[in-house]
Amino acid sequence: MTSALLQEWDTPFQIAPFDKISDDEFAPAMEHALAEHRAEIDAIASNSELPNFTNTIEALEAAGDALDKVLGVFFTVAGADSNPVREELQRQFSPKLAAHFAEISGNKALFSRVAKVWDQRNELDLSDEQARVLMLSHRGFVRSGAALAGQEEARMKEIKGRLAVLGTEFTQNLLADEREWFMPLGEGDLDGLPDFALDAARTAGVEKDAGGPVVTLSRSLIVPFLQFSTRRDLREQAFNAWTARGANGGETDNRAIAAEILALREERANLLGYENFAAYKLETEMAKTPQAVRDLLMAVWTPARMQAEADAKVLTKMMQQDGVNGPLEPWDWRFYAEKRRLVEHDLDAAALKPYFQLDRMIDAAFACANRLFGLEFKPLDVPLYHADCRAWEVTRAGAHVAVFIGDYFARGSKRSGAWCSAMRAQAKFPKPQTPVVINVCNFAKGDPALLSYDDARTLFHEFGHALHQMLSNVTYESVSGTSVARDFVELPSQLYEHWLEVPEVLAEFATHAQTRAAMPQDMLNKVLNAATFDMGFQTVEYVASALVDLAFHDGPAPSDPIAKQDEILGTLGMPPAIGMRHATPHFAHVFAGDGYSSGYYSYMWSEVMDADAFQAFEEASGPFDVERAQALEAHILSTGGSRDAAELYTAFRGRLPGVEALLKGRGLATD
């Protein structure tokens, strides 16, 4: 086959030649790559030699190169630059890929060889990383159902295939709702909106061909609207549309899909001998058990709810002073919180935003990586999948380390949220390969593009994930970069957010978009002093989502997830003016795939570690302490999943952390 997807890429650092790849190549390239991978697997399974680490485990590691290339390109563009053709291809590919990998995990001859290598593990002269790869490979087969037979084996294949289809449908329904809805803003609808929000609304209006400014369901546009618009009726309309994503009835409604996903997950776990899906999923994570997760979340929930309830009383009084009677509503919270921030901290988000230019924040993230790890970033002129994207070559001491791609702006073809992915992961086997890493965000366009403080944190967060990929230094791709326990993967990303708050970083890079002047010292002080402002709200909306996710999977699957969600929130005493950060019909973390199912708590679990890890820098010579940075790279950023996560953290810090540093960092400590 002559598709550019399957040829050797004669491009700088073998980046995918996006300018030579057309949508009609994906399906035939996928079929070719699947057939090639199937032949490789069959050769391993039918090998007449006695199974050993080389001819079985390493052979599995080396297989599937063509498939990796095709999937790396396709899922990059399908998530960040979708179109009807790519959406249809996703619907076609999902069940095929699920069936393909189910066929591999259910290959009895192959599993027999893996099991035999596992049985003789103590007699093999394996390195620590090889022993880890063997354990993960064997465990993966067992947890995928390789030991099942007969009707149970057949049913497991059906479940996996159906879950793949449902996850794709959930994602595409959400994208459709986000893409189709917008609210036009007439001249009388703009009151209170600062210039940056108006610019973003006008830009969105051009994209929607609306003939004027609009509010869309992009977080980078709707949150500022909820913060600043004085039109309470429009805030209510926008908020209701935002929270109704995936629950509007018709073809894009996700509620029945969520119920079926939960039922199938429970059945899958039961087939493997687990009481429920949470028990199955958490077995391989740091937390290990649902109870450990619940204990952490409730330790944070209680003080967070107390703070949120106290804040709600203050905001209600402010609202009543404006002549608005009745209870504080969810579409009021951000508006009055912004007013309160201005009063209590003299911090105006609109006045602050010009100091957070996108380009300067990218420079800041790069500069911190240079000081901590010696990385340098040089712009790279290569064809990419969208005109918004830009690329850099990453080097250290003159040696090539990685390619980093940034795709920062919101658009209708991109799913919401922010993420990091590796089109190619670091590995040394079967041949050396350096990573190609992508950060995808959904910031509002502007000239120049300006970020909120939360946007800037998101940029640093995703770049922390990118560092985990770029600094990986392992042999096998299966344990490279972010291939770690789900509740450990957010440690590098959340830890890196702390460097945005370092005063010398803000002093250097938070410069005004027009005057180029550094942020005044009094404003800088206000930013840092207000770091925990409204943290009750932020913590409650997150922890509520995490507790709902856990409850969905830690027990019988609910036939009506919405009723179950409401029951959980009622039991928790959810403040009525705060909604879940991700309600069930648009909870893509949990329902678009298995990644964060029973695992949305992992951001909080990782935050316990990131608060403690940054404290290690502060206990040394400061945020740029050389020895702490070297230890962070040596024990966490370079090691991927080559060792147990708890071992890695203990090697870095000397112990595992408690929840105290997290509560202190969020301003929720009660002592």
The total of other beta-carbon atoms located within 10 Å of residue 504's CB is 11
What share of the chain has pLDDT > 70, as a percent?
A: 100
Distance, CA of 223 to CA of 416 (rounded, Å): 13
Q: Are 632 and 613 in contact (CB under 8 A)?
A: yes
Residue type, 269: A
Q: What angle do CA 331, 333, 339 make, to 5 degrees?
A: 120
* pLDDT band with cut points at 50, 70 and 90 for residue 614: very high
265: phi then psi, degrees, rounded to nearest 5: -65, -45
Query: What mean pLDDT do residues 134-144 have?
Result: 97
Residues paired with residue 439 on neighbouring β-strands, in sequence order: 406, 420
The total of other beta-carbon atoms located within 10 Å of residue 123's CB is 7
Task: Tell me the three state secondary structure of residue 325.
Answer: coil
The total of other beta-carbon atoms located within 10 Å of residue 17's CB is 16
* pLDDT band with cut points at 50, 70 and 90 for residue 670: confident
pLDDT at 669 over 90: no
Residue 187 known to be catalytic: no
Assign residue 295 a region: left if phi > 0, alpha if psi is -120 to 50, beta otherwise?
alpha
What share of the chain has pLDDT > 90, as a percent?
A: 95
Distance, CA of 61 to CA of 132 (rounded, Å): 13
In order, the DSSP letters of 516-559 are -PBPPHHHHHHHHHTTTTTHHHHHHHHHHHHHHHHHHHSSSPPS
Residue 353 makes CB contacts below 8 A (sequence gap 6+) with 194, 196, 450, 451, 452
Task: Establish whether the linkage from the previous residue to 448 is cis, with ω within 30° of 0.
Answer: yes
In order, the DSSP letters of 385-451 are SSTT-EEEEEEETTEEEEEEEEEEE--TTS-SS-EEEEEE--B-SSS-B--EEEEEEEEPP-SS-B-
Distance, CA of 5 to CA of 34 (rounded, Å): 13
pLDDT at 416 over 90: no
Pick from 401, 400, 475, 468: nearest CA to 439:
468
pLDDT digits 0-9 by tens, 489-538: 999 999 999 999 999 999 999 999 999 999 999 999 999 888 899 999 99
pLDDT at 671 over 80: no
Return mean pLDDT, the chain. Answer: 96
Pair of tokens at residue 82: 């979708």
Distance, CA of 449 to CA of 459 (rounded, Å): 13
* pLDDT band with cut points at 50, 70 and 90 for residue 653: very high
- pTM of the predicted structure, to 2 decimals: 0.92
Identify the pLDDT of residue 107.
95
Query: What mean pLDDT do residues 241-269 have?
Result: 97
Catalytic residue among 462, 490, 607, 633: 462
Identify the pLDDT of residue 1.
56
Distance, CA of 474 to CA of 669 (rounded, Å): 39
**Maximum alpha-carbon separation in the chain:** 83
pLDDT digits 0-9 by tens, 458-497: 999 999 999 999 999 999 999 999 999 999 999 999 999 9
Q: Are 422 and 435 in contact (CB under 8 A)?
A: yes
All structural domains of the chain = 12-147 (1.20.1050.40), 181-245 (no CATH), 252-347+535-600 (1.10.1370.10), 354-529+603-665 (1.10.1370.40)
pLDDT digits 0-9 by tens, 283-330: 999 999 999 999 999 999 999 999 999 999 999 999 999 999 999 999
Identify the pLDDT of residue 2.
77
